[in-house]
Structure 1
Amino acid sequence: MNAGAERHILILGGTTEARRLAEELAADPALRVTSSLAGRVAAPRLPAGEVRIGGFGGPEGLAHWLREQQVAALIDATHPFAGTISFNAARAAAAVGVPLLAVRRPGWVAGPGDDWRDVASLADAARALPAMGERVFLTTGRMGLGAFAHLEDKWFLVRSVDAPEPPAPPRMEVLLDRGPFTLDGERELLRRHAIDVLVTKDSGAAATAAKLTAAREAGVPVVVVRRPPVPEGVPEVPGPAEAAAWLRETPGGR
């Protein structure tokens, strides 16, 4: 890259943190910012700067794109459960020699009065449900509903941004909505639908945390699917402000 030219920053996005980071970086005329979205949401909230939608074709495809587009730094700000892309990013960045940073929002931590059951997967969550409740508030998104499809005696309230596709539980009501959610709204959902168990992923962040407070107040147990493993050796920060600071201090990143 020629001296004085724009530095190209690729953000693997789709999260609130990624949008905020893109907005901050795109305001800098010395930077060219591209955000990559997986394309799993029909009408995503588009960030500032350039946007590309769709996969790269594995780590080799991502490495090729980094070289071709002369990317100076790569920031993985994907969802905590988008585990495959994080490993692909680590392999691609190492192959090309591009600095890589992961923005990983802190996970949720149970507090006094919380009744949480930690599980490692959606399948484990489904196995835990028979002994826990009859009316389930399922907030794990539209992907993976097949893990609960065999639970014919349970009733599910499924909340997702886009409509889910089969396989899915036979007794199910779908609520299409996008956070942030209010505490009063979550309280009303639990009350109106007589929810007696909540299933969620440990996505962290405040935008969807109100359901946990509402569940604690109502005495509703929560099945929490813990996060998948992440690549070792990748530097991490908790949010966009720290990511912008890292970029300023990274050789070639800014």
Structure 2
Amino acid sequence: MRILLLGGTGEARELARLLTGEREHEIVSSLAGRVSEPIRPEGEVRIGGFGGVDGLREWLADHRIQLVVDATHPFAASITANAALATARLGLPMIRLSRPGWTAGPGDRWYRVPDLATAADTAAGAGDRILLTIGRQGVAAFAGHTRPWYLIRAIDPPTGALPPRHEILLARGPFTVAEESDLLARHRIEVVVTKDSGGAATAAKLTAARTAGLPVVVVDRPPVPLGIRVVTSVEEARGVLSARSGEDSGGGPTR
């Protein structure tokens, strides 16, 4: 069974590692190319966009893909929506692999918000020294706030408008709790802003903020398109694919 794996996450790389070389699966991993030096998964890899819904639909048909696994970041809403539409038009099955989100525990001071604009307003009202850990995209939502100072941490330099008072820290995680605690203390951070990415790889900042008694503004995930099956672990995704490969003995779609 030919599978397109929309990746870029640790779960996508792990799934590619497990499936590459299995006789019943032929995997093509796709990376968006938004990070300058992405971590490449095992097996065949393509990098770059598809050209919207129509471009993706044509690519799926041309490459006789039989199933799509969307294992992109929980906030990669555009590619998820495009994949849902393209697969629906071709009659292809699609699976969304999305790690569980974070849940506040005892001692956490979280403000859950629906979007980055609300996050910017909430954070500005909670403190003057703010750590942004939202990636390089979306920082422009904070540009209109002139009073706070922002430490903007990202893998690559952010795009778009920036708040007037800021410092950019280019770094790639994961980070330990000790490293995050040191960062918060060294920069005298008063508020942490993050997206609900979930998983253990980037959760150390939440523990550090809890220990320091700092508020955390958490941006909720966008909804998954209706009708898409969601699995929450690599093991669950692998089980679904194995079951489907036993059912599917035909070729790819036609236009």
Query: TM-score, normalization: structure 2?
Result: 0.94
Q: Confirm or deny that 1:63 pairs with 2:54.
A: no
- Mapped partners of 1:105, 1:80: distance in 2: 8
Q: Confirm or deny that 1:26 pairs with 2:20.
A: yes
**Counterpart of 2:95 in 1: which secondary structure?**
strand
Q: Which amino acid aligns with 1:134?
A: D
Superposition pairs of residues 10-21 of structure 1, within 5 angstroms: 10-21=4-15
Q: Confirm or deny that 1:252 pairs with 2:244.
A: no
Root mean square deviation of aligned Cα: 1.3
Following superposition, the deviation at residue 247 of structure 1 comes to 0.4
Equivalent of 1:101, from 95, 100, 105?
95
- Mapped partners of 1:60, 1:125: distance in 2: 33
Q: Which residue in 2 is equivalent to 1:242?
A: 236
Q: Which residue in 2 is equivalent to 1:4?
A: none
Q: Which residue in 2 is equivalent to 1:120?
A: 114
Equivalent of 1:175, from 169, 192, 195?
169
Q: Which amino acid aligns with 2:48?
A: G
Structure 1 residues 112-171: Cα deviation after superposition (integer angstroms, max 9, x where no partner): 110000111111011112320010010001111111112121111111000123411121
Following superposition, the deviation at residue 252 of structure 1 comes to 2.2
Q: Which residue in 1 is equivalent to 2:253?
A: none
Q: Which residue in 1 is equivalent to 2:149?
A: 155
Q: Confirm or deny that 1:53 pairs with 2:47.
A: yes
CA contact (8 A) 1:135 1:155 kept: yes
Q: Which residue in 1 is equivalent to 2:212?
A: 218
**Counterpart of 1:21 in 2: which secondary structure?**
helix
- Mapped partners of 1:101, 1:33: distance in 2: 14
Structure 1 residues 161-200: Cα deviation after superposition (integer angstroms, max 9, x where no partner): 0012341112111111112111110010011111010000
Q: Confirm or deny that 1:90 pairs with 2:84.
A: yes
**Counterpart of 1:71 in 2: which secondary structure?**
coil
| Residues matched between the structures, number | 248
Q: Which amino acid aligns with 2:99?
A: R
Following superposition, the deviation at residue 64 of structure 1 comes to 1.1
Following superposition, the deviation at residue 27 of structure 1 comes to 2.5
- Mapped partners of 2:94, 2:249: distance in 1: 10
Unaligned runs of 5+ in 1: 1-6
Unaligned runs of 5+ in 2: 251-255
Moved more, 93-102 or 202-211: 93-102
Structure 1 residues 64-96: Cα deviation after superposition (integer angstroms, max 9, x where no partner): 111110112110001000011111111111111
- Mapped partners of 1:78, 1:174: distance in 2: 25
**Counterpart of 2:5 in 1: which secondary structure?**
strand
Q: Which amino acid aligns with 2:177?
A: L
Following superposition, the deviation at residue 19 of structure 1 comes to 0.6
Moved more, 186-195 or 172-181: 172-181
- Mapped partners of 1:160, 1:203: distance in 2: 14
